[in-house]
């Protein structure tokens, strides 16, 4: 099989293609500020093993410095252009042997023969709660034996399919970490609309059912538990030819794709 995907929870996935491992938005914390991990064990140490790490934007649940500190020297860390200026802690990772590559939409990097292409996302990419908008939010397409799209955080936008290009596997956010999704996010229904436009062979829903605000267990719990199943249902209606793989935390799949 050309690609293997492991979902570790939230937006953290390992994509292995052509023997090269890519890790997306690593978050290896039991607690982050007001959030706690409610489902799925904290990923094991081997989850941090990758040739390259792809960070979609600067929010702390996607660019998490303590998690990035677990990366081995020599790992390539791909971040939106301007990220080191907005998040100075990234420079300390660079000093510890992690290699930084800044990209913007349309640019590519090559990792052991596998190409990573940065694509646009519609999301507020600032390092909150302070700081100017110094770095864009991005998605990435890993192009090896298969073309795997990691959307990061994004809303639907005109020309999305054209901007992303042809893909075989789509890792799409379908929820969030709180009772309400703000602007620039996909819920299960909008993610299925994106899926229909992208038309990959396979999809994996991510970014749901992992973290939840402390003390809000009883506030709209449906928004925590249900997005994966809802995405499966909406995808069956809007994109019936796409095979959706609903993974548990730490589970992996080798999607069937034809190239």
Which pLDDT does position 100 carry in this prediction? 96
For the chain, percent of residues with pLDDT exceeding 90: 80
Backbone angles phi, psi at 137, to 5 degrees: -80, 140
- The helix or strand, by DSSP H or E, that contains position 232, with its residue range, turns out to be helix 227-238
Contact of 102 with 81, CB cutoff 8 Å: yes
The residue with greater pLDDT, 119 or 95, is: 119
**19, 30, 101, 213 from 9: Cα distances, Å:** 22, 11, 25, 16
Rounded to the nearest integer, the mean pLDDT of the chain is 93
Confidence grade of residue 95 (pLDDT, cut at 50, 70, 90) = confident
Which pLDDT does position 179 carry in this prediction? 74
Conformational region of residue 112, where left means phi above 0, alpha means psi within -120 to 50, and beta covers everything else: left
**20, 115, 169, 201, 256 from 145: Cα distances, Å:** 11, 10, 11, 14, 12
pLDDT digits (tens, 9 = 90+) for 194-227: 999 999 999 999 999 999 999 887 777 878 889 9
Confidence grade of residue 49 (pLDDT, cut at 50, 70, 90) = very high
- The helix or strand, by DSSP H or E, that contains position 92, with its residue range, turns out to be helix 89-95
pLDDT digits (tens, 9 = 90+) for 101-117: 999 999 999 999 999 99
């Amino acid at each position: 099989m050309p690609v293997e995907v492991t979902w570790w929870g939230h937006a953290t996935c390992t994509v292995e293609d052509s023997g090269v491992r890519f890790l997306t938005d690593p978050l290896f914390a039991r607690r982050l500020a007001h959030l706690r991990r409610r489902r799925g064990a904290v990923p094991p140490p081997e989850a941090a093993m990758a040739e390259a790490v792809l960070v979609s934007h600067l929010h702390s649940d996607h660019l998490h410095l303590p998690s990035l500190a677990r990366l081995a020297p020599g790992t390539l860390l791909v971040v939106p252009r301007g990220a080191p200026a907005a998040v100075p802690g990234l420079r300390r990772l660079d000093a510890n042997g992690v290699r930084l590559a800044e990209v913007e939409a349309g640019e590519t990097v090559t990792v052991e023969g596998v190409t990573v292409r940065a694509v646009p996302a519609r999301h507020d990419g600032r390092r909150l709660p302070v700081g100017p908008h110094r770095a864009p939010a991005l998605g990435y397409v890993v192009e090896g034996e298969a073309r795997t799209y990691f959307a990061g955080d994004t809303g639907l936008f005109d020309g999305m399919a054209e901007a992303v290009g042809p893909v075989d596997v789509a890792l799409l956010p379908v929820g969030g970490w709180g009772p309400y999704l703000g602007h620039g996010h996909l819920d299960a229904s909008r993610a299925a609309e994106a899926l229909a436009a992208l038309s990959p062979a396979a999809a994996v829903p991510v970014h749901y059912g992992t973290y939840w605000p402390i003390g809000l267990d009883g506030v709209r719990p449906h928004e925590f538990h249900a997005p994966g199943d809802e995405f499966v249902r909406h995808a069956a209606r809007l994109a019936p030819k796409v095979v959706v793989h609903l993974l548990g935390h730490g589970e992996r799949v080798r999607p069937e794709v034809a190239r």
